Every structure is written in structure tokens, then in C-alpha cells.
Structure 1
Amino acid sequence: MLHGAGGSGEQVLPYFTALGDRLSMAVVAPTAQQPVQTTSNLDLAGIFGSRFRMPRWDLAGRDFPLAALRWALTELGADPNRCVLAGVSMGGLATWNLSMRFWHSFAAAVPLNGALSIWESFGTDARTRALLPNTLPLPLFVVHGGKDERISPEFDRESVRTLRDLGHQEVEYVEVPEGAHGLDTLGLAEGSPLFRQLERRLCRASRTDQSASISHRANEDTHGRAHWVGLDGITPQRTAEVHARWTAADRVDIEASGARRVALYLRGDRLSPGDMVTVTVNGVVSPVRFTPDLATVHHTFQNTVDPGLVAEQVIRLDVPQPPGDEPAEPTNRTRGRDAETI
């Protein structure tokens, strides 16, 4: 549960302890920190982002939210298939953004009085909005106060409309008519209609099994992976995209753009050691032999502490590029991040 600007985990935690008790659910509420690197903060504060000097969540996922998830998995023995991400205000922005980038790590997401980007107060944040289809496999319970004057409910209305137009099957939107920006105005007290609605939603939330077909978008290598396929060498200031499908027990077809390479994370639930797999990337065929090794198991588990994301072999293949469309290798990570928030 991620708090808003100027708040803390300690302040937001009491609002969700009753829900945790009802569902036998641990509620982890980290406190945001000052970022190590200066950013433009346009995604959090729009054109006045340079004035935002409070602790903040890194919407690209390089700080406390994912560290808190790792802590819950290792220290609390949390079920990796039953982890839900929620947040209010600035935490609602982080919930949307982390859900778009790391949707494969969560069973559901609950943004409260949030938005994809406050920059959209001044125009469409096309770079962030391009990631919204990533949430199609993820159940969403979106709540916004109808009288919120700090983050307009129109932001969430628009995102939910877009997802419904794209065919999202499990997105629910609740607009609280008298709700304002404060969490205490949304009517989440124990036993309230909204409390019971959220309880019913989270009671059945569970991460789905890895699909035979994956579609994923990314604008940084840090969130290039989704389940068993990934992208790296992503072109700066561009949204990369991959569509991958197991079309047979020994065949994977991949279409990719905006990145130099694709990665396949192979494991023994689909293959046996020595099996040959035909991998096609943008029409170019490569034979791959499945040769699992313990070092890869250790490395992939260490990175995520999530058994569902462990691989026994990682294969990286070049993405064939149309003439004149070769992506350049990123040379300045900080500059790439600043461009993303714009």
C-alpha cells in the first residue's frame, strides 16, 4: 500500500488493517524516500514538477515498492501469486505505473485517486499511455472521488474507458460521488459498501498461470521482461513491443520492434533437457536446444525472489530490423529516464 505525497506508510496503514484482518492478508506500507537522482517530476506534478521536492515513488520501479514486494516474499513467506498493489494519490500514480511495467508480478492492482501521469493536465502523455495495454491481463479495481480537486477523476475515467475499449475483462471503476482527494473521504471504513466490494474483489485475486501468449510494451530495459519473454537494448524515447506465442510444444513465434534483442526465459514445465525449440523472431528462424543450468536458476531467482519468474535457461536473440530502423544502444540512462517522464 503506497501513500501519497507528504504522507508515510505509518499514516496510511490503519486504513487497511481491517481489510488485512478480514482476508488474512499482510499489509505492507513502505515510506517513500528522496530519489537518489534528480528528475523532472513532470509525471507527478506536471509543468510544476521542478518544484516537487518531497520524497516520491520512482514510477519506473527502481526503489521501495518492488523492494517491499521482495521483503514480503522472503520475510513473510507471502504467496507470490496473491500479491496486490495499491496506492492513493502519488501512490495511485505509482500503482498505475508499476502495474503497467510489472503486471506479471501482481494478482491485482487498486489505484485510489490516481492517474497515469499528472503531465496529462497539459496534454496527453503518449509515452506513458502507450504502456496501458500491458494491464489487460491484470484485474484492476479503480476508485476515485467525484469531488477530487487535486487529481481530477477524468484521468481515471479516461484510462478505464480506454481499457474497456481494448477489451479488458476485469476492470472495475467506482467513483465516490462525495469523495474528495483525502483517503478518509472515500468511504473505505470497515463494513462500508466500498469496503465490502474491495474485500470481494481481493478475496478471489490470484495471479494467472503463465500464458502461452504474451504481449508486452516497454520504454526502458528495466521493465522489458514479462513472464517468459523480454526485450533489451530498447531504443531511447521509443516504446518497444513484443508479441510472443508458443504455437506448438517445440515452437515459439515472436514479433518485436523498438529493441535490439529479445530474451526467452525457458524452464522445465514446458521442456525436457535436450529438447529442440524452433524460435522465429520477425520471420528469422533459430533452432535452440534446451540446456538448463543451476547458475541461471540461481540468478533469475535472486533477481525476483519469485518462483514463477525463475528460468532454467535464458536465450537472447537479435531482433531483425527494417532497413534504416536500427535502434541505437542507450548511452545515458539518466537522460533516457528524463525523456520518459516528458
Structure 2
Amino acid sequence: NDTFGAVILANATTNILRGYKLVASAPGGTTTETPVPPILPLATRKVGFRILHSGKATTNRVAMSVRLARGGTTADTRTFFLGVRSKDQTHRETFVSGLDGSVQYYSLVPARPLPGSHEKPGLVLSAHGASVEAAGQAGCYSPKTWVHVAAPTNRRPYGFDWEDWGRRDAMEVLDLLQKKLGTDPNRTYLTGHSMGGHGTWQLGVTFPDRFAAIAPSAGWISFQSYGGGKRPEPTNRVQRLIQRAWTPGDTLALATNYLQQGIYILHGDADDNVPVSEARTMRAALSGFHHDFTWHEQPGAGHWWGNQCVDWPPIFDWFARHRIPDDEGVGRLQFVTGNPGVSATSHWATIEAQEHALALSGVDIRWDSGARRFSGTTENVARLSLRLDRLAPGPVPTVELDGQSVTNLVAVGNSGRRVWLARSGGHWKAGGPGSPSEKGPHRYGPFKEAFGHRMFFVYGTGGTAEENAWAFAKARFDAESFWYRGNASVDVVPDTAFDASKDRDRGVILYGNADGNGAWKSLLADSPVQVRRGAVRVGTREITGSDLACLFLRPRPGSDVACVGVVAGSGMAGLRLTDRMPYFMAGVAYPDVTVFGSDALSKGWGGARAAGYFGNDWTVENGEIAWEGDESR
């Protein structure tokens, strides 16, 4: 009964509103006061507040009053009605997201264990379809005796197709509920319908050791297979590097990860929304290597044929017969990832860094517990760690990778003993934990990964009047777009109010360039990418012109986790060009750094001037950057 709510505040004036607070109260509860952050002119802002209530009521709902006040003056008051539920009824629960500090919710169908049962319950994560609320998804399930069913939101009914921030929402809810409900982590499952079926394929293939079994219902595979979203073939190296940024969303490229899960595929054979060919394609792909999947086509069924589309008894029977094995029981591990910053670990192996950023990386390693030996092969792996504390105790194992014996290994680590290995010049050697200042699972890129860690949007005020107006409008537009698409809540501040010495583990998104944004010097003075009026420089190379748009990210100085994302232009034409870069859409991806010219408006990615990835030390020299017309580099 100690929970959170949120309301939308609208500022219809042309002034920034400051000094307000939300006062929330309800009969039988405790009044709470929450400071309201500044609300930009002609803008909306989602603001969370605390709800403290006994949970006792004479009816099945409680009236809650929320008052907006400043000083002794009340600006507005609204009354909301909250349903009262017993703990074993289907209900919503709210939480504060670590992504942006906003209030989010999930719906929960609590398990109803049989009398005398002391077994830890399992957990099923259920992903909803397009336009469906998480509460509606949960309402399709009857309670189970042995497993909770939880429906995250994907941040909105349409959200992000369970990719990008939708993926983060699902995994944030999973982590929260496993801890809060004390579920059996070895009995964790994933299902979903339609867009949520795609989410099931995507989340399952991205985090293969988190789910014992998955069950997509009427699910589509990827943007390339469904809805005419075929990607153009790249014609030069710049475009090939841009294309790499899409790797984490390529379901079929990651498909060998499904070997770690049992799979139940459900589809109506008369589906006129998501054609049954999507399921049949996955069945054909799995048939070549997978031996633990089953398939059911419902005769004559369309896209939605009642609650049994998701609450299908054979699916739950399938789930009940699958468990995630303990690490010691994993004798062979095949794991691939497109981005260690998204998914780096499966059981005892972690791909810490890649040789070629966002190209597919993989390991195929066997663990011989009797001989205490790891042996296997890797692809596109620069750093690797093998966790030992979940294996049977004993001496440090021997390791053979890619036909090479690795000697002088030492197990280190406080939060989990590991051996660390590094590859250089084609040779493996013993290593140690990577420096937090280097790329790793904690911070990797590409550009869209900067939108996290409760980021600020910081707009420039030191440019021309036209540049300043653009920076303010763009930051406000992005904040409202992220709310509209992702139910987010973002602090938007001018460069004059931003203090780089504070809140160093919060992300920052800068709008403008080095000549117009006063926060640039404190955050990006040492950046190898510099954008000024008339030019963009990446490393030692420079492109001139006033119509250049540049998106890039860098590690935030003084932080081991946060990034600085930059939305920049070399002039008004370049700044306005960023308005046409839809980075809040799923299926759209950008490398660590991308530079476009204004001809991108007619040529698409044919207008890209440069693109690529920083090295694992975040330098240009050790990275891969391609330039227009320069295929030799």
C-alpha cells in the first residue's frame, strides 16, 4: 500500500512554471507532498507522486484527491478512484523506473498455491499485442497454482515493439518481480500474443538463460519479415556500418540462442493480421538445429480467438515440464549476441567486448567438470570472462579457446569469481576485469543507448537566437515524444542551469553544438567528435558545410555507467535535419557516431557522410569509422 501514481501537468502559458507541488490524499491514508519539477512553456510533463494508504476501505474503491499548489494557492484539483484488491486478485502495481525515474506499472495475476504447498512459485512474463494495455493482457489469464503471471507494459500499448526501451521495461519488471515475489529463478517463462509474440521471440533470443521455455502466439519474427519492412542492401562501407546497428533486432541471426529454451509455437491458420507464414518460417528455421520445440496451428482460427490465444493450457503444461538448468549442469554453451551492452551473459560465459562493434559475436564452449576444463571456439570476441562460483568448487580450470591453451589464469572478483581472457592479434591470453572507462556490458553504445540512467535533456542557450530557439524546441519536442511513445518523464534544462559536477551517473542528451551549448566544454572537451558552425570533425578528419547533422554518444566524464548523447548540427540546416531522424522508433538504429548531409532527405542513408563505432577504449583510432567515398579505410 506504499506505492506511486502519476499525473500529466499541462503548462498553457508562455513562461516556465516553478515552485509547484502535488498534494495527494485519500480517506484512510497519509497526505504526501511531491515537488514538481519546472514545467516548460506550452508543454506537458508527467509527474509522479507517492501514495500512502492503509488499503482498508468499506467499498471496492478509494477516492484520491491530487492538488496542484504553490504557496498557499491551489491551481487545480482532481479526484481519482483507485480500486481496492486483495493480494490474490489480479491487479496493477506501480514502480519507479531506473531508466528515466518515471512511474510505470505492470499487471500481476498472483499464483494461488494449493494448501500446504511450500514450493517457490514460478513466474511467467506475458507480452501484450499492439494497442493492448498490460492490464487487459493480464485479465486474459485465470490464476495458476504454481506460477505468477505478470504483464509489463512495453512502456505503452504500442510502445517499442518490445525492442529498445520496451525490452528494457520487460527485463526491469522481470528483475523487480523475481526479487519482490521470491520466485524460483529456474522456473521463469515467457509468452505473448501478436506484437507480444514478436516480443517473445525477441526477448527469448536476446536473454536465453533467463527463460526455461518461451511460447509465442501469433507472433511475427522481425521488421524485415512483417509489414514490408525490408531493409535496403548497403552499397558502401558507411552503409554497412550503419546496418550493423540493427544486429540486436535480427531475430534469425541470433536463433541459435533458442537452444537454451523449450519452445511452443501457437498460431491460427486463418490469421489475417500476422500471417501463419511467420510461425512456419520459425518452425523451418528451428527444425534445422533445435530438438525441443512443438507446434500447434489452430484450424480456422484468425488473429484473436479468445483468451485461449494466451491462456492456452498446453502452453502451461509445456512450461511446467521445463526448468533453467543450474550452471554446473550446462556442459555445452552456445551463445551469440549483437551487442554486449544489451545482452552479454549466458550462464557462466560473458562476452565482455567485441573485436568489431555490433557485428555478431558468439561462443561455443564446453565445460568438463571432471577435468575442470573449458574448451571451445569464439567469433568476434575481444574480451571474455568465465564465472566459476556457480560451478563445483576446485582449482582454477584450464582453458582452451580457438585451439590455443591459455595459461597463467587467476580467478578474481568479489561479486562472482571469474577468469578473464583477452584476445589480441588473434591470440588469447590471461587478462583481468576491463576498466570501467572501457566499453563493456555496463556501457557500450550505440547512440540510442545514451537514453537511460535518468538522463537530462540539456539545450543550448549560447548560440544565435535561431539556434537557441531550435535547441529549446527540439529538447521539448523530444521530451514530449518520449512521453507520448514511451510514457517517460525527462528533466529538460538549459545549459546555464546544468552542473556537470552533480548527478554524474545520470545520462545527458545535449542539443546544439560546441558554439551554442555551454555544457559542451564540461562534457565533451576531450571528445574526438566535435561539431561547430560550419564543420564536423571526427578524429583527424573534418567535413565542412552548414547542413551537416550529427548523432553520437560518449562516456560521461566522472561516471562509470552514464553516457552523453549528442543531437548536433553544423548550422541551422544541419540542426533542423536532426528533426527527421526518428530515434524514438523501434526498428531504427544508429551507430556510435553518424553524420548526415541534407541530401539524406532525398537519398536516405545515401546521404550519410560518415558513420561507425569507437574502439573498446572509446577512441577513433582503435575503432571503425567509414567516410563517404573512402572505401579503402
**1:257 aligns with one of 359, 373, 379:** 379
Q: Which of 102, 110, 113 pairs up with 2:218?
A: 113
Is the contact between residue 292 and residue 313 of structure 1 (CA under 8 Å) also seen in structure 2? Answer: yes
Counterpart residue number, 1:283: 403
Match of residue 48 from structure 1: none
CA distance in 1, matches of 2:423, 2:192: 37
Q: Which runs of 5+ in 2 are unaligned?
A: 1-125, 232-245, 428-438, 450-587, 592-604, 606-633
Q: Tell whether 2:307 aligns with 1:215.
A: no
| Match in the other structure for 1:229 | 349
- What is the one-letter code of the residue matched to 1:11? G
**1:151 aligned partner:** 274
Instruction: Say yes or no: does 1:98 pair with 2:203.
Output: yes
1:291 CA displacement = 4.2
How many residues are matched?
A: 292
Indicate the residue corresponding to 1:134 in structure 2: 257
Give the 3-state SS of the residue equivalent to 2:149 in structure 1: coil
Structure 1 contact 145–186 (Cα < 8 Å) conserved: no
Distance in 2, matches of 1:178 and 1:186, equals: 14
Task: Give the structure 2 partner of residue 199 of structure 1.
Answer: 316
**Secondary structure at the counterpart of residue 63 of structure 1:** helix
2:364 to 243, 264, 267: 243
1:88/1:112 contact within 8 Å kept: yes
2:154 and 2:298 mapped to 1: Cα distance?
Answer: 27
RMSD: 3.0
User: Which amino acid in the other structure matches residue 213 of structure 1?
Assistant: R
- In 2, the alpha carbon distance for the partners of 1:317 and 1:243 equals 15
2:421 to 317, 325, 338: 317
Does residue 71 (structure 1) correspond to residue 176 (structure 2)? The answer is yes
Which 4+ runs in 1 deviate beyond 6 A? none
SS at match of 1:109: strand
1:81 alignment partner, SS class: coil
Alpha-carbon distance in structure 1 between the residues aligned to 2:425 and 2:203: 29
Cα distance in 2 for residues equivalent to 1:10 and 1:335: 28
Q: Is the 8 A contact 2:217 2:309 kept in 1?
A: no
Q: CA–CA distance in 1 between the matches of 2:190 and 2:447?
A: 26
- 1: CA distance between counterparts of 2:128 and 2:309? 17
Q: CA deviation at 1:317?
A: 1.1
Q: Bigger relative contact order, structure 1 or 2, given CA contacts below 8 A and separation 6+?
A: 1
More strand by share: 2
Cα distance change on mapping 1:90 and 1:188 into 2, 3 Å: closer
* SS of the residue 2:419 aligns to: strand
Give the aligned partner of residue 185 of structure 2. Answer: 80
Aligned to 1:38: none
TM-score, normalised on structure 1? 0.76
Give the aligned partner of residue 301 of structure 1: none
Higher helix residue share? 1
Report the structure number with the largest CA radius of gyration.
2
Secondary structure at 2:387's aligned position in 1? strand
Cα deviation for residue 186 of structure 1 reads 5.5
What corresponds to 1:176 in structure 2?
298
Secondary structure of the 2:203 match is: helix
> Do 2:217 and 2:266's aligned partners in 1 also have CA atoms closer than 8 Å?
yes
Q: Structure 1 residues 290 and 320 mapped into 2: Cα distance closer, same or farther (>3 Å)? A: closer
1:93: how far off?
Answer: 0.8
Contact 2:412 2:419 in 1 (8 A): no
Query: What's the counterpart of residue 14 of structure 1?
Result: 139
TM-score (norm 2): 0.42
Q: Any idea what the Cα deviations from partners look like across 1:213-254, whole Å, max 9, x if unmatched?
A: 101111111212111012132323421111111245332113
* Conserved? CA contact 1:5–1:56, under 8 Å: no
Q: Which is further off, 149-158 or 78-87?
A: 149-158
Mapped to 2, the partners of 1:157 and 1:169 lie a distance apart of: 16
**CA 1:321/1:113 → structure 2, altered by over 3 Å: closer, same or farther?**
farther
CA contact (8 A) 2:127 2:193 kept: yes
5+ long unaligned stretches in structure 1: 35-52, 190-194, 297-311, 324-328
